[in-house]
């Protein structure tokens, strides 16, 4: 079973904002470029709602974060 994931908005949200589990750690291990991009964006990310606590992010904040990660990776999805 391969866990290399495409950098789609939903996949990025599920990887970055999910509860820390062994499966998540395994996905991080198999997707180091995606994880590094998430960490880089997280450092300077200012969500549209201006909420500081990641746990309180709205869906729109998470989508904006994921799109910033996609931009960092140079990934332009064809169906979004």
| pLDDT for 79 | 52
Contact 41, 62 (CB under 8 A): no
Q: Could you report the per-residue pLDDT of 51-63, keeping only the tens digit for each? A: 999 999 999 999 9
Q: Could you report the per-residue pLDDT of 62-77, keeping only the tens digit for each? A: 999 999 999 999 986 6
Is 21 strand, coil or helix? coil
Contact 6, 64 (CB under 8 A): no
For residue 43, is pLDDT > 70? yes
Cα(17)–Cα(2) distance, integer angstroms:
21
Q: Is 73 exposed, middle or buried (0-12, 13-18, 19+ CB in 10 A)?
A: middle
**Locus of tokens 């931009």:** 71
| pLDDT for 10 | 97
């Amino acid at each position: 079973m391969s866990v290399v994931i495409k950098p789609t908005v939903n996949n990025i949200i599920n990887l970055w904002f999910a509860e820390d589990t062994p499966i998540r750690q395994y996905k991080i291990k198999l997707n180091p470029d995606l994880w590094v991009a998430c960490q880089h964006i997280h450092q300077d990310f200012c969500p549209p709602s201006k909420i500081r606590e990641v746990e309180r992010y709205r869906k729109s904040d998470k989508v904006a974060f994921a799109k910033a990660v996609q931009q960092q990776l140079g990934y332009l999805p064809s169906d979004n």
